[in-house]
Structure 1
Amino acid sequence: MSIRRERGSASRGDDRFYFLVLQREGSMAINRSAQTFTLHPGDMALLDSAESFEMQPNGLIAQLSIHLCRDAVDRLLPTHAWRFGKIEQSGLSGRLLHGMLQQISDGEMNLGAGQSHGAALQDALINLLQPSLHPDDVPNTGRPLRRLAERMINKTLLAPPTPAELAAMLNISVRQLYRQFELDGDSIGRYIQRQRLHCAARDLAQTGDNALPITTIAYKWGFTDSAHFSRVFKRHYSMPPKDYRANVQGATSAHNNQGHP
């Protein structure tokens, strides 16, 4: 099942905030036009309530979500700063931010402890965000480039560039490119496979005339062996593609039938 938020107006009451998210349990795929990423336990992200995006949870999840006032974020962050996506944790500011969110999640910090304290804590969180954010189009060679590499991969997910081609596009060595993923205990190959699996799961959730056969979905997303696709899908989603499709369609049907006799 997916949760979709339609584009709103920043001047509307419920679009006055950005959401600072800490993924506590489970995983959640976030899809926003051409941008796709996944939050695993311990990951952080900044989401914009005025943007249109889709969230696809993988089973049961738990998140901490903090509302940051849009006026405060726009006042403290540079106008060019990126405001949607995963937050880098390799630097000191990212680690401090993660530590604060973990303390809030564990109940060691009280966001409601007085208006002045709450405003000061909000400003501290936003200020820690800035070094972990970057312009959307211009790479900053003084910090990890993984997010930019992810965007380049996602734009050509069916035929992504080779590591050598990607490194050349980023103007870094292949070893430096590998290091960007190794910092998170990840690899380029595993990242590409996860993104293809998320896209396959999205296709499996389609119903009616838009529903494709499972074998077609496997081939569409680069899995030339349907049995291999089924194995890696089950390893990632804890159920084979057939069961995943049945569960999603069953949940959709139950939701559509609510309120009907």
Structure 2
Amino acid sequence: MPVRFSTKGVKEKDRFSYWREVVCDVYVLLGCESEMADEFHGGLVLERLPGISVSSVFSDPLTVNRRKKDIARSNDDCFLLGVQLKNKVYVIQHDRIAELDPGDFAIYSSTEPYQLLCPRSYKQLVFQFPKSDLLARLPNCELLMARKVSRGNEIGRLVSGSLVDFSRIIGNTDEVVQHYMKDTVLDLIATGLASLENSTFELSRPEQHLMLRAKSYIHANLGNSDLSREMVAKAMGMSVRRLSGIFSKEGTTITAYIRFMRLERIARDLLNDLFHRQSISEIAFRWGFNNLQHFSKVFRIQYGMSPRDYRQHARPLWAV
């Protein structure tokens, strides 16, 4: 069920302090300022889902600052992505400014200072999720903070519209559907960011498209224990050597990427209440491992503990 916050019904003198507390509670610890503090209006509708939160927020003009002291006092390790719905917002991080008009979107990190400038009353859709989930799809995405994905870009327009559509229905689905919809939303976000010029910094545009196709194919076939670099290359219509060369430009291999994504899915399911009745071996088999001894070994290498210890003691990556 969505959680709703509004300054309506709050005494005028208390509205802006109330809004500041709401924003810090829903998103991350930060500072807010507004020249309209004495007559401020704002509202927010929040859906907290497994591994991701989605919120629709509107307010009068304000400035939001994520400061070094805020970062030092919190342990948030997430990305936030804003899809502009009304008027204009400026996202500032890493000495870059993304000027967002309706239909544009940009991403920013909770672990580095940022600023949001809202010179007029605005409305925005905000997605918030663990960094690791996007880094697994787009390893260079931390270099893309505060870079606008424009509605004028064909891919950007498609992704932006799809994210808005997903936000309208995702809260009305059951938990199992939400679990898989999250992956679809993150794949869309990765696709939109990858459309930015020089977003992979070493891959040419044709190679970017091949990489996206290959990763999408891998994500869709992780449960197939026969998934291999040969299988992926064949599906892409190219040689293993050629595809391996493209993956090497991102500092990985096809096999390593498959293994990483399988382990990421398993780790996520081990912490998901939806699967608490399933054994570790059942979850591992579902994601394509058929040798439990090998699975336990590579899981320990990646996560520093056994699958059993991880399930019992690991802190979830995202508190919902």
Which runs of structure 2 are paired with 1:242-253 in the superposition (5 Å)?
242-248=308-314
Distance of 1:166 and 1:29 partners within structure 2: 23
2:136 paired residue number: 38
How far residue 201 of structure 1 moved from its aligned partner, in angstroms, is 0.5
Distance of 1:74 and 1:3 partners within structure 2: 26
1:216 paired residue number: 282
Conservation of the 8 A alpha-carbon contact between 2:269 and 2:275? no
Structure 1: state its 5+ residue gaps: 32-36, 46-62, 89-127, 134-138, 257-261
How far residue 170 of structure 1 moved from its aligned partner, in angstroms, is 2.3
Aligned with residue 85 of structure 1, among 179, 190, 194: 190
Aligned with residue 232 of structure 1, among 298, 306, 313: 298
How far residue 245 of structure 1 moved from its aligned partner, in angstroms, is 1.3
Conservation of the 8 A alpha-carbon contact between 1:22 and 1:44? no
Equivalent position SS for 2:219: helix
Aligned with residue 197 of structure 2, among 111, 125, 130: 130
Distance of 1:171 and 1:250 partners within structure 2: 39
Computing the radius of gyration from Cα coordinates, the structure with the larger value is 2
How far residue 22 of structure 1 moved from its aligned partner, in angstroms, is 11
Distance of 2:253 and 2:206 partners within structure 1: 20
Structure 2: state its 5+ residue gaps: 1-49, 57-82, 92-99, 113-129, 160-188
How far residue 211 of structure 1 moved from its aligned partner, in angstroms, is 3.7
Which runs of structure 2 are paired with 1:1-261 in the superposition (5 Å)?
3-6=51-54, 8=56, 10-11=84-85, 17-20=105-108, 28-30=131-133, 38=136, 43-45=139-141, 66-68=145-147, 73-74=149-150, 78-81=153-156, 84-85=189-190, 129-132=196-199, 141=206, 145-159=210-224, 161-207=227-273, 210-248=276-314
The share of aligned pairs that are identical, in percent, is 24
How far residue 230 of structure 1 moved from its aligned partner, in angstroms, is 1.8
Distance of 1:150 and 1:38 partners within structure 2: 10
Conservation of the 8 A alpha-carbon contact between 1:21 and 1:65? no
Distance of 1:66 and 1:233 partners within structure 2: 30
Equivalent position SS for 1:203: helix
Distance of 1:209 and 1:173 partners within structure 2: 38
RMSD: 4.2
User: In the alignment, residue 133 of structure 2 is paired with which amino acid?
Assistant: I
CA deviations 1:194-216 (Å, max 9, x no partner) are 11101101110022764421122
Distance of 2:239 and 2:316 partners within structure 1: 48
